[in-house]
Amino acid sequence: MLSSLANLLTTSWAVILTWAEGIGSATRLAGAGLRAARAPGGLKGNAGSLLAEPERQRQVLAVLRAFAPNISLKRQLVKAYENTGTVIVTRREDVLDVLSRDADFEVVYEPRMRKLTEGENFFLGMQPGWDYTRDVSAMRLAARRPDVEEIVLPRATALADDIVGGSFGRLDLPPQLTLEIPWDMTETYFGAGGPDKATMQDWTTTMFWYLFGDLGADPALEAKALGHAADMRTWLDEAIASRKAAPTEAPDLLNRCLALQSAGTPGMSDLGIRNNLLGLLIGAIPTISKASCLALDAILDRPEALELAQKSARAGDDTRLAGVVWEALRHNPHNPVIYRRATRNTVIARSTLRELHVKKGQIVFAATLSAMYDRFDIDAPGSFRGNRRFEDHIIWGTGMHTCFGAAINAAVIPAILKPVLAQPNLRRADGAAGRIDTGGTPFPQHFTVLFD
């Protein structure tokens, strides 16, 4: 009896706080909208940049969480993939439900993935089935979990230390550090770093943008991405043929894939190896770089977080440092929404006040940023806590399509930031240089920090 009463009071208090957050966020959004309307370009011209700010995104989601947690729109917000409308889901329970129901909510990337590979799908674009099981299983045999601690992390740690140590107190993060280290990983661990680092960085960033972020279906971006894909396919085909002609003993993914091919492993033809490497390369470089920059950006905005991160980095407390980094990405995630498409008519949040009927073909935006702020499941969501459970952070997705490189990301991103955070008097560069510059893309191009 007492337990039931306590649960009721706790839930009621959560409802009241959620409403209060929604009202407060709506008020702040109205103020920001008024200022944008008065600025050159007006509200229409400034709306995009306004809503690109993480703070504004959190405010919009707080309003939805409070007053319209699940909504259905006839409007097609996504132009890149076929759909019949849009659903937005904001409560944590419902977000996790959508991402776990693969039979009801499918990944949509297959058409564009086939364009990038010139015919074949990649497991990021597959539903459950033999092809998915074959390719993921084969690549798990090649990319072994112990490799993270034994190969990838030591290399990333040493390289980050060298780069920061030789930067003389001024570091432009993307070109000098956060793009450099994941590219080095593709060269030394994947065995497929491209003709040079600048080319591979450009290839992968453009194709990632086209595959996952080009919701408006920009024809110029598609042309650029498909051109890069053709160049990467040619380069990978030549790299595979060259390695077969002149084998090495390197413990890299290319050698392991070729060993699996020799053993008759399904899916490990030259074409299968090329397509799997292409898919992994697309995800590796831009994801790690962007997440590293956004995490540091969020930490620098919070003096208490910076103090905790620096103490952890200087003490060599990697567990606590990682907790600070994940908490920073909870507040400022590289991917605030994951989208799926309904394979049939279905229901979200059945038998609740927020029950919503989803029609076949609708794109469902599962707002992971909102889910990580849902006070029905997250304690004090607005606070910065470096000791939250890792499960509270939906950073790399969940379910069948959890990021394939999640274990690598979890090790490498704190390793990239550790020597930066260990520096005395770490701070942003003055003016625009100290803020993330995306250069008209979704990815950080420049972000300069200083230290003594």
Amino acid 100: pLDDT: 94
Q: How far apart are CA 335 and CA 5, in angstroms?
A: 38
Answer whether 21's CB lies under 8 Å from 62's CB: yes
Identify whether 448 is part of a domain.
Answer: no
pLDDT for res 126? 86
pLDDT of 3 reads 59
Q: Is the distance from CB of 186 to CB of 285 less than 8 angstroms?
A: yes
Question: What is the pairing mode between strands 338-342 and 363-366?
Answer: antiparallel
Q: What is the spatial distance between Cα 245 and Cα 232, in angstroms, rounded to a whole number?
A: 20
pLDDT at position 4 = 56
In a domain, 284, yes or no: yes
**38 is a domain residue:** no
3-state secondary structure of 345: coil
Domain count, the chain: 1
Q: What share of the chain is helix, strand, coil (3-state, %, to 5)?
A: 60, 10, 30
253 lies in some domain = yes
CATH assignment at residue 356: 1.10.630.10
Angle, helix 42-52 to helix 2-38, in steps of 10 degrees:
140
The pLDDT of residue 7: 52
Amino acid at 5: L
Are the beta carbons of 286 and 148 closer than 8 angstroms?
no
The secondary structure of residue 91, as a DSSP letter, is S
Inter-residue contact 402 to 280 (CB < 8 Å): no
Torsion of Cα atoms, 240 then 242 then 244 then 249, to 10°: -100
Structure tokens at 449: 């920090």
Q: Quote the pLDDT of residue 29.
A: 87
Q: Rounded CA gap, 109 and 264, in Å?
A: 29
Please check whether residue 135 is in contact with residue 123, taking contact to mean a CB–CB distance below 8 angstroms. yes
In the block, tokens 């300069």 appear at 448
Q: How far apart are CA 267 and CA 53, in angstroms?
A: 42
Is 451 part of any domain? no
Q: Which domain holds residue 77?
A: 68-165+173-416
pTM: 0.93
Burial class (CB in 10 A: 0-12, 13-18, 19+), 314: middle
The continuous run of DSSP H or E covering 78 comes out as none
φ/ψ of 366, rounded to 5, equals: -90, 105
182-201 as b/e: b if 16+ CB within 10 A:
bbbbbbbbbbbbbeebebbb
Q: Please give the pLDDT value at position 448.
A: 98
Per-position DSSP letters for 351-420, written without gaps between them:
TSTT-EEE-TT-EEEE-HHHHTT-TTTSSSTTS--TT--GGG--SS--GGGS-TTHHHHHHHHHHHHHHH
Question: What is the tens place of the pLDDT at every residue in 327-369?
Answer: 999 999 999 999 999 999 999 999 999 999 999 999 999 999 9
Residue 14: the pLDDT is 83
Classify residue 44: in a domain, yes or no.
no
Which phi and psi (to 5°) does residue 237 adopt? -60, -45
User: What residue ranges of the chain have pLDDT lower than 70?
Assistant: 1-10
User: Under DSSP, is residue 133 helix (H, G, I), strand (E, B) or coil?
Assistant: helix
Closest CA to 287 of 392, 395, 196: 395
101 occurs within a structural domain: yes
Phi, psi of 221 (to 5 degrees): -65, -40
300-333 pLDDT, tens digit per residue, is 999 999 999 999 999 999 999 999 999 999 999 9
Could you tell me the end-to-end alpha-carbon distance of the chain, in angstroms, rounded to an integer? 60
Contact present, 276 and 257 (Cβ < 8 Å): yes
Give the Cα separation of 229 and 277 in Å (integer).
Answer: 12
Q: Is 27 helix (H, G, I), strand (E, B) or coil?
A: helix
Return the SS3 of 427.
strand
Q: Is 1 part of any domain?
A: no
